[in-house]
């Protein structure tokens, strides 16, 4: 993979991620300030890919001064956590602090809560997938050290570039986009991607409305006046407003489709998830882990509908049933 010059001083690096269908994460090099926006997964392949693409610019990974991360997902921060060992500063959106505290609190009971979630979501038949993979839910993970928190609306200059922080919770609570007004560029992270829809999910043990937040965050950026959108994956694109509107329509259609499944009477999260259409692959051939992601995405939609008063929820023998009011 080869780096691509976006402007004289902004370079798009393609950090490989061959085990993931997305194939790569974009890392953006701001040459004058030796800054990266996002990195990639914590793999040898990713590290080599990044090093090789920095080389034509006379840089080694340890020459980087700071990394700004759009959100705390492994495909954006994993490699940053390795680079951080060389003393590189990490900057992230202010909400990352709250998010990390929440995750640390959850780690202690994650295994128990995950099993309980299968009951609540009506996925009892999948429990063996969790019990035989108990080691995945280890509680000794240390949160990433963040050196500077960026507030929503904060403006700063790095080298020749003016940047403004736009907090865009939804795909992830702490997600930020960065606007470079002078060049009419938006670094959109995973908030808006050109083709795929970002995963918007909710676990049973959390109590917020990620879909509501996501839709508001789409509204928040739809009128940002830019020519170039530099996302976290896929490819560079230009049509921000039509794309945000497409995404809003996508979720409105999903909400309608889910409500329709409730016309046959009360359904669990797994019932609804198994009845709606999925772009990636049909429900019956999804692995347990993909079904689990689909279930949390389904729950995010049902939670939103419940908040809007369009569906109601009742608990029967530790399982939630959703129905039309």
Contact residues for Zn ion, defined by CB under 5 A: 75, 190, 232
What is the distance between the alpha carbons of residues 210 and 190, in angstroms, rounded to a whole number?
14
Please, which residue, 75 or 271, has the CB nearer to Zn ion? 75
Q: Whole-number minimum distance, CB 122 to Zn ion, in Å?
A: 29
Q: Whole-number minimum distance, CB 248 to Zn ion, in Å?
A: 20
Q: Whole-number minimum distance, CB 272 to Zn ion, in Å?
A: 26
What is the distance between the alpha carbons of residues 196 and 63, in angstroms, rounded to a whole number?
34
Q: Whole-number minimum distance, CB 71 to Zn ion, in Å?
A: 8
Please, which residue, 172 or 180, has the CB nearer to Zn ion? 172
* Three-state SS at 185: strand
Give me the sign of the Cα torsion angle 171, 136, 290, 110: negative
According to DSSP H, which parts of 180-229 are helical?
210-222
Q: Whole-number minimum distance, CB 104 to Zn ion, in Å?
A: 22
For residue 274, give both structure tokens: 């198994």
To 10 degrees, the CA torsion angle through 201, 41, 111, 293? Answer: 30
For residue 3, give both structure tokens: 């780096």
Interaxial angle between packed helices 210-222 and 288-307, expressed in degrees from 0 to 180 and rounded to the nearest 10: 80
Q: Whole-number minimum distance, CB 27 to Zn ion, in Å?
A: 11
Please, which residue, 186 or 302, has the CB nearer to Zn ion? 186
Please, which residue, 75 or 117, has the CB nearer to Zn ion? 75
Please, which residue, 25 or 180, has the CB nearer to Zn ion? 25
What is the distance between the alpha carbons of residues 245 and 215, in angstroms, rounded to a whole number?
10
Q: Whole-number minimum distance, CB 189 to Zn ion, in Å?
A: 7
What is the distance between the alpha carbons of residues 288 and 274, in angstroms, rounded to a whole number?
12
Please, which residue, 75 or 213, has the CB nearer to Zn ion? 75
Give me the sign of the Cα torsion angle 236, 241, 246, 249: positive
What is the distance between the alpha carbons of residues 220 and 171, in angstroms, rounded to a whole number?
14
Please, which residue, 178 or 311, has the CB nearer to Zn ion? 178
Please, which residue, 93 or 232, has the CB nearer to Zn ion? 232
Give the contacts of 106 (CB within 8 A, at least 6 positions apart): 113, 205
**7 φ, ψ (degrees, to nearest 5):** -135, -170
Q: Whole-number minimum distance, CB 135 to Zn ion, in Å?
A: 25
């Amino acid at each position: 993979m080869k780096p691509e010059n976006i402007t004289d001083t902004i370079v798009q690096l393609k950090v490989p991620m061959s085990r993931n269908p997305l194939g790569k994460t974009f890392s953006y090099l701001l040459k004058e300030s030796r800054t990266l926006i996002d990195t990639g997964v914590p793999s040898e392949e990713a590290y080599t890919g990044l090093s090789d693409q920095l080389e034509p610019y006379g840089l080694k990974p340890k020459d980087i001064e700071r990394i700004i991360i759009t959100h705390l997902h492994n495909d954006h921060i994993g490699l940053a956590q390795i680079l951080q060992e060389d003393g590189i500063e990490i900057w992230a959106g202010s909400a990352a602090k709250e998010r990390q505290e929440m995750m640390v609190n959850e780690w202690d009971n994650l295994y128990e809560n995950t099993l309980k979630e299968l009951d609540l979501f009506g996925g009892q038949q999948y429990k063996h997938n969790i019990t035989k993979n108990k080691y995945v839910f280890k509680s000794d993970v240390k949160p990433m050290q963040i050196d500077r928190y960026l507030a929503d609306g904060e403006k700063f200059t790095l080298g020749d570039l003016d940047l403004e922080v736009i907090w865009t919770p939804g795909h992830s609570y702490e997600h930020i986009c960065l606007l470079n007004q002078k060049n009419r560029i938006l670094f959109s992270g995973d908030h808006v991607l050109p083709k795929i829809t970002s995963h918007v999910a909710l676990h049973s043990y959390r109590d917020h409305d990620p879909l509501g937040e996501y839709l508001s965050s789409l509204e928040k950026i739809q009128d940002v006046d830019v020519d170039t959108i530099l996302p976290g994956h896929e490819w560079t694109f230009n049509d921000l407003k039509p794309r945000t509107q497409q995404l809003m329509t996508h979720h409105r259609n999903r909400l309608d489709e889910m409500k329709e499944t409730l016309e046959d009477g009360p359904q669990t999260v797994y019932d609804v998830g198994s009845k709606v259409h999925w772009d990636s692959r049909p429900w019956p051939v999804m692995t347990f882990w993909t079904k689990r992601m689909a279930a949390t995405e389904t729950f995010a939609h049902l939670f939103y509908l419940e908040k809007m008063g369009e569906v109601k929820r009742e608990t029967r023998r530790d399982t939630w049933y959703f129905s039309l009011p």
